[in-house]
Amino acid sequence: MEDMQSNQRIAELLTRLMTGEVLQQDLLEQHYAISHRTCQRDLAYIRRALTDYAAGSLVEKKGAYYLSRQSEADDLDMVLTTSNILLGSRALDQPELTATLKYLSNGLSPAMQAIVHQQLTVPRGSYTPLSNAHPLLHQLREVATCISHSQKMVFVYRSSEPGAAQPQVHHAQPVALFFETYYFYVAMLSEEHGGYWLYRLDRIEGILEKRPGEKLDYASRFSLQEHRHYTYLLDSGSLTQIRFIYRNNIHTVLDHFPDSRIIKQNPDGSYLVEAYVKIDGAVLWLLSQGTGLKVLSPVSLVNRMRETLTAAREQYED
């Protein structure tokens, strides 16, 4: 019975250490009603186990004990990087943001947690959630579960289309969940749209039912890789080969369209670039580059750019 109590106590102590808690020896002795010697023995056992499994080291300072991971410097770098990406996404509401940031730093030592807190003070204080932010974590888990179990969903969806009616019931099987430019998206095989369609997660107002889905053909299903390579903002329009002269930093093109290809560099320092893109979203990016870009082909795209830019200019004519 004593051994069982000892094992349970050591398991509790180790769990508390792994969650980032600082353990005061005198308080442990009072809480567990054990002697100073027994407490020292428990901590020594934990220290040996951490060393044997390369899980970190038990650090003692003035009767206080905490877990220091052997890769703590790397852990700190990863926590800071992930936290800053999360803050830059603006995707979560304030309560979920606070909970997620706390979860990320919980495994660090108190000293490292203090560094994280100090370095995130400015970005955390300037965090601006999206205009209609609401809880997403539960919805993320529900959709991810449907994907892993090949389930169909019956859900209420609020469309962003101009003049759209009230939220409608949709029937679709989710196949991919991803984040892109402020929002989480779910690629689904949709009955209402007759094929694969991208739904914004934050516009799903409720999942009414989950049903057994189908084993989908991977050769014809939605490809997140293709989406990443050919799409900017809108996953619509035909996949089109385009060519253009680019006068700004060439890495901007390569970052937005990873499969783009530099044909040559011109004497004036500009570049001739070729890319395959989903045309509707690509037009938005091409227009955003202003005089730093000139479309050369296809002719249909040249005409579309000319008409759009002319209409924009006419809005400012007296």
Residue 68 confidence class, pLDDT cut points 50, 70, 90 = confident
Task: At 235, give phi and psi (nearest 5°).
Answer: -95, 65
Pairing of strands 168-180, 64-68: unpaired
Residue 1 confidence class, pLDDT cut points 50, 70, 90 = very low
Q: Measured between alpha carbons, how far is 51 from 70 in angstroms, rounded to an integer?
A: 10
pLDDT digits 0-9 by tens, 207-234: 999 999 988 877 678 888 888 888 887 7
Residue 144 confidence class, pLDDT cut points 50, 70, 90 = very high
Segments making up each domain of the chain, as ranges? 2-68, 72-125, 139-222, 228-314
Pairing of strands 271-278, 261-265: antiparallel
With contact defined as beta carbons under 8 Å apart, do 258 and 229 qualify?
yes
Residue 21 confidence class, pLDDT cut points 50, 70, 90 = confident
Tokens 């939605």, located at residue: 222
Which of 16-20, 178-182, 200-204, 245-249 shows the lowest mean pLDDT across its residues? 16-20
Nearest to 21 by CA among 115, 100, 110, 103: 110
**Residue 148 scores a pLDDT above 80:** yes
pLDDT digits 0-9 by tens, 71-102: 777 888 999 999 999 999 999 999 999 999 99
Q: Which CATH class is domain 2-68?
A: mainly alpha
| E strands in 30-139 | 57-61, 64-68
Residue 290 confidence class, pLDDT cut points 50, 70, 90 = very high
| Phi-psi region at 308: left, alpha or beta (left = phi > 0; alpha = psi -120 to 50) | alpha
Q: Measured between alpha carbons, how far is 177 from 291 in angstroms, rounded to an integer?
A: 36
Nearest to 108 by CA among 80, 127, 142, 145: 80
Q: Measured between alpha carbons, how far is 309 from 290 in angstroms, rounded to an integer?
A: 10
